[in-house]
Amino acid sequence: MHREYEVEVERVFRARQGLSSPVRAAAGLPSVSEIEVVLRAGVGFGEGQLTERGWFVDTDALAARLDEWVRLLSGQPWPALFAFRPTFELVAREIFGRLAPHVPQLAYVELADRTFGSRTRYRPGI
């Protein structure tokens, strides 16, 4: 199916990823306890999927699901939340896997680290 549209919803929050940086340590730089993070989710859909109201995805419903993740991710250091090493890659994949059954045609989940200027996008099948 051709997807002419992609709708993205984002939430900004502060988090304690809780992983040490070997690069910062080797350079003698202090560790950073809290970072600013953006959680984004995108839904892709085609022209023929627009409803009579002119939309496909309920952005309020998607935002509410992202708010649940923000509460979790901002509540405590990430190693306490996951049974795996919580890199941005693995956390994005985990969020995608848990959102996909509830968000039709979820295209990607992205975590952006505004503190250090990096983004990780998980898009299965690419």
Instruction: Give the tens place of pLDDT for each residue, 25-62.
Output: 676 665 667 889 999 999 999 999 999 999 999 999 99
Structure tokens at 92: 């994005």
Residue 90 phi/psi, 5-degree rounding, is -70, -35
Quick one: pLDDT at residue 23? 64
How far is residue 77's CA from residue 13's CA, in Å, rounded to a whole number? 13
Contact 78, 15 (CB under 8 A): yes
Contact 40, 70 (CB under 8 A): no
Quick one: pLDDT at residue 1? 62
Residue 50 phi/psi, 5-degree rounding, is -65, 135
Instruction: Give the tens place of pLDDT for each residue, 72-115.
Output: 999 999 999 999 999 999 999 999 999 999 999 999 999 999 99
Quick one: pLDDT at residue 126? 56
Which position has the higher pLDDT, 71 or 2?
Answer: 71
How far is residue 110's CA from residue 48's CA, in Å, rounded to a whole number? 26
CB atoms within 10 A of CB 102: 10
Quick one: pLDDT at residue 26? 73
Whether this model's pTM surpasses 0.95: no
Quick one: pLDDT at residue 33? 72
Structure tokens at 30: 């202090």
Q: Which domains does the chain have, with CATH numbers?
A: 5-122 (3.30.479.10)
